Amino acid sequence: MKYCLLSRGDELSDRLTEKFRELAALRGITEDEEEPDIVVTIGGDGTLLQAFHKFLHRLEEVSFVGVHTGHLGFFADWKANELDLLVSNMAEHAENRHALTVRYPVVEIVLKSRGGETVWHALNEFTVKGNNTMLVAELHINDELFEMFRGDGICVAAPMGSTAYNKSLGGAIIHPNLESIQVSEIASINNRVYRTLGSSLVLPRHHHCDIIPRAGQKLLLSRDHLLEEAEDIESIACRVADKKVGFIRYRPFPFWTRVREAFIQNDGS
Ligand code: NAP
């Protein structure tokens, strides 16, 4: 069993990264930056998003585990003072494979332009916005025109991202065992001329949606923390990806407990 480490880069996260390295060496666990089995992030949920994109090409082979150096996260659920326990769990797992890897859905995004096709994946969400202008786009569901969207943009979230940007947009929190994507509006214009549904839509695995921006629009596209400008996008297809993201669970931490602790009541973790 080989691991690699990714730090948020602040002083505390870097210090804990070094400590983790020492503890792992004592337990005889090997570090491998290129082909790890387990990717350990030290920082916050944002650090795990970076790790997800760094190891996207090995998503089927790696499992992630996150240590938080700030507040409790959705991806980063180990505390800074639990490094010893985490390393001993990893060492035990290397011996007897006692831990479970849970696999959760991510969003697949296919961007079509004159130049060809690009495929992206997002752990939290994909967004499309007008670049300094309103977004004007058709939203199709399963190849049928659903609505004409005018507003700031559209967000398509994976279940694990439903607690992030999606939640700020009034979307529902979706348990990550539900293989689905959630489409939410970002500040849509609704009046006697323009009309959109105004609610988030949750699509199951076998459904897809296409966003067709008005030709020639300048767009801002995001996948998780990564942002890009684009001008020549003809269509954007979103669906539940075939690949999944794996999190290694050395101990149970139910999703709804996380939601409660993050948003309702923090018991000091
Ligand atoms: P950031 O702007 O530094 O931080 C965004 C915040 O979202 C951080 O507090 C981060 O937690 C938290 N977060 C990330 N993933 C989460 C999840 N699945 N559930 C709950 N909270 C989560 O940017 P970043 O750290 O690079 O993260 C990029 C993410 O920011 C995007 O994927 C998007 O979801 C989110 N975002 C939210 C809004 C909004 O709510 N209005 C707007 C833009 C982007 P940590 O502090 O633990 O890292």
Q: What is the pLDDT of residues 134-171, one digit of tens each?
A: 999 999 999 999 999 999 999 999 999 999 999 999 99
Residues 111, 237 within the same domain: yes
If DSSP codes are grouped into helix, strand and coil, which group holds residue 125?
A: strand
Are residue 132 and residue 86 in the same domain, yes or no? Answer: no
The predicted pLDDT at position 267 comes to 64
Enumerate residues 6+ apart whose C-beta is below 8 A from 264.
none
Q: What is the number of H-type helices and E-type strands within the chain? A: 5, 16
Clarify whether residues 81 and 148 are in a common domain: no
Instruction: Compute the distance from residue 45 Cα to the ligand 1 centre, in Å.
Output: 7
Q: What is the Cα–Cα distance from 165 to 70, expressed in whole angstroms?
A: 19
Question: Is residue 34 helix, strand or coil?
Answer: coil
Query: Which mutation among 165, 166, 260 tests ligand 1's pocket best, with the greatest number of atoms within 8 A of CB?
Result: 165
pLDDT at 269 over 80: no
Instruction: Answer for the pair 43, 20: CB distance below 8 angstroms, yes or no.
Output: no
Q: What angle do CA 231, 237, 243 make, to 5 degrees?
A: 120
> How many folded domains does the chain comprise?
2
Average predicted confidence (pLDDT) for the chain: 95
Confidence of residue 94 (pLDDT cuts 50, 70, 90): confident
Kindly report the CATH number assigned to the domain that includes residue 64: 3.40.50.10330
Q: Verify that 151 and 202 share a domain, yes or no.
A: yes
What's the whole-model pTM score? 0.96
Which backbone phi and psi does 15 adopt, to 5 degrees? -65, -45
Domain that holds residue 189: 106-242
pLDDT value of residue 268:
54
Distance 88 CA to ligand 1 centre (A): 30
The answer on 55 and 32 residing in a single domain is yes
Say yes or no to pLDDT of 93 above 90: no
**Res. 52 pLDDT band, cuts 50 70 90:** very high
pLDDT of the residue at 133: 94
* Residue 194 pLDDT > 60: yes
Contact indicator for 159, 104 with CB cutoff of 8 Å: yes
Tell me, yes or no, whether 115 and 88 share the same domain. Answer: no
Segment 97-109 shows an average pLDDT of: 93
Lowest mean pLDDT among 13-17, 68-72, 122-126: 68-72
- Within this chain, do residues 238 and 138 fall inside the same structural domain, yes or no? yes
**If you ran DSSP here, which 8-state letter would residue 246 be given?**
E
Probe ligand 1: pick from 68, 127, 225, 253, max atoms within 8 Å of CB? 225
Smallest CA-to-CA distance from 241 within 146, 158, 163 is with 158
CATH for 150: 2.60.200.30
**For residue 132, is it left (φ>0), alpha (ψ between -120 and 50) or beta?**
left
Q: Is 110 helix (H, G, I), strand (E, B) or coil?
A: strand
The residue among 80, 63, 60, 105 whose CA lies nearest residue 7 is 80
Q: Is 12 exposed, middle or buried (0-12, 13-18, 19+ CB in 10 A)?
A: middle
Same domain, residue pair 254 and 167:
no
Pocket of ligand 1 from Cβ distances under 6 Å: 44-46, 49, 70, 73-74, 124-125, 160-161, 163-165, 168, 224-225
